[in-house]
Amino acid sequence: MEKNILKYIIFYGFAALSVLSSCKDSFLDQKPYTGQPPEAALATEKDIYVALTGAYASLRVANVNISGTSTNISAYGRNIPAIGDVAADNVFVSASNTGRYLTFNQYTFNQGATEFRDIWLNLYATIMKANRIIDSELSESDNVKKYKGEAYAIRALCYFDLVRHFAKPYTDDPNSDGVPLSLHYDPFAKPARSKVAEVYTQILADLDQSYNMISTYRGTAYFSKYAARALAAKVNLYKGDYAAALSQAQDVIRNSGFSLVTNANLISYWGTTSAQSSTKTETLFEVVSDGVANLGNDELGYVYNQAGYGDLLATPELYNLYSDTDLRKQLITVGARTNAEKPAYIVTKYKAMANDRDDKKILRLSEVYLIAAESSHSQAVADDALALTYLNTLVAQRDPSKVYSSTGNQLLEDIIMERRKELAFEGDRLHTLNRLKRDIVRSAVYPSAARNISYSNTRRIFPIPLTERTNNPNISQNPGYN
């Protein structure tokens, strides 16, 4: 499958990244490999469909050539969901490990880290694929319009995660350097970083386009109208526009036809490896890994599951947040690591180690309820009763014995705690702490030098990859990295 992805990239001229030839070139400094002009490469509805399939596949992994070596670069396949927890306080690297993510455990990563290179290159490769679809001059039939709407959502998702990883939060400084915006194919462009606010404006504009252009629901493996709306609600939450976030979250809750996964089905939900095709339970959008197209030993589940590497363990503090009546506690098993942690809090959220692999949940209805709750509580809305309604609706399907009645600041803390419990091991925690500008307070399971990571620590924002700055002198580096 990875070879097919590369074939799609080359055939359709998606050669926007250094990874398709050599890391000596800028991510935008490439020529079309076929020599075909963009309008010829995507000349039919089928061409658009095949190109879109390649864009979705690229969210998981792209097989590329870096300095003469074929390499898999991964974003949502493992790096993004793993780093969001191990760089925060939910997950740590076991004393018995294979060396993966150790620098995030220790907070010693630098601009040369391959994880940053892979996230950057993978997301920009996917953006360039989406750009070619969006810019196609093919007459917009209903299908073409729908496919373009999905491409807008894919591009928005990529830019959202780029700006979350490589720039300050909007809630900190919207006028600080964000990431380069490249919205059209240009083989000679070497853009500087756009401001954070400009990137957010583009993301929300893309999601408005997507919401208006997508008509039919194709299943959870594809962006739908309401998956785009859910992402917009999340983007506005990160922007601090709580009124907009609430309105969009309510649109999804009221009109999408999706329902929360119930207590009775929660464990089996996480044990299911197939994307939904017609039903609308919980998952709004997911990146699919199946029995053929997967990362093998580099799948997310492999670093958690004890049948794989099992390197990443839940912290005891996170485990203890779950009451005995909370069904989510069953997604962590108390066991032991050989010659290491006893007890070890083993993550069992991802169970598939062979054949059809676990899909990576990108947008879930549970998070939409949490967005609605936090936005309702905000000063912009100031409706704690409504916030409690959304919070307790979710919690009733996770811990039937728990009913919140808090107000004021305590209610906010309850919402953030439930967010931590609900989205654990899905890559959310670091970004939540960043947008709230909170310190990371870690337990004794982490190295002593990396126990308390203040918000002012420059490593809270990741470095622009060294290879990209070398190739594009117009891209400035984040503070604290040489």
> In the chain, what is the straight-line distance between the N-terminal and C-terminal CA atoms, in Å?
37
Could you give the dihedral angle defined by the CA atoms of residues 216, 221, 224 and 228, in that order, rounded to the nearest 10 degrees? -170
316: which residues sit within 8 A by CB, 6+ positions away? Answer: 343, 345, 443, 445
Q: pLDDT at position 64, please?
A: 63
Q: What's the token pair of residue 342?
A: 């006893």
Q: Which stretches of the chain score pLDDT less than 50?
A: 1-35
| Spacing of C-alpha 42 from chain mean position | 28
Q: pLDDT at position 37, please?
A: 56
Q: pLDDT at position 34, please?
A: 35
CA separation for the pair 77, 61 (Å, rounded): 6
CA separation for the pair 275, 224 (Å, rounded): 14
Q: On the CB side of 162, how many CA atoms lie within 13 Å of its CA?
A: 33
Residue type at 416 in one-letter notation: I
Partners of 187 in the beta sheet?
A: none
Q: pLDDT at position 20, please?
A: 36
CA separation for the pair 166, 169 (Å, rounded): 9
Q: On the CB side of 128, how many CA atoms lie within 13 Å of its CA?
A: 31
CA geometry: angle 279, 284, 290, nearest 5 deg: 80
The string of pLDDT tens digits covering residues 163-212 is 999 999 999 999 999 999 999 977 678 999 999 999 999 999 999 999 99
What angle, 0 to 180 degrees and rounded to 10, lies between the N-to-C axes of helices 225-239 and 242-255? 160
Q: pLDDT at position 140, please?
A: 82
Q: What's the token pair of residue 34?
A: 């076929």
CA separation for the pair 200, 319 (Å, rounded): 34
Instruction: Assess contact for 305 and 281: CB atoms under 8 A.
Output: no
Q: Is the dihedral of CA 358, 360, 364, 366 positive or negative?
A: positive
| Spacing of C-alpha 451 from chain mean position | 25
Single out the residue of 27, 283, 230, 215 nearest to residue 131, CA to CA.
27
User: What count of residues does the chain have?
Assistant: 482
Rounded to the nearest 5°, which phi and psi values hold at 367? Answer: -65, -35
Please give the C-alpha separations between residue 26 and each of 45, 89, 117, 131, in angstroms, as whole numbers.
Answer: 31, 35, 13, 17
* DSSP 8-state assignment for residue 101: T
CA separation for the pair 430, 450 (Å, rounded): 14
CA geometry: angle 160, 163, 164, nearest 5 deg: 80
Instruction: Assess contact for 196 and 160: CB atoms under 8 A.
Output: no
CA separation for the pair 346, 334 (Å, rounded): 6
Instruction: Enumerate domains of the chain plus CATH numbers.
Output: 2-291+359-455 (1.25.40.390)
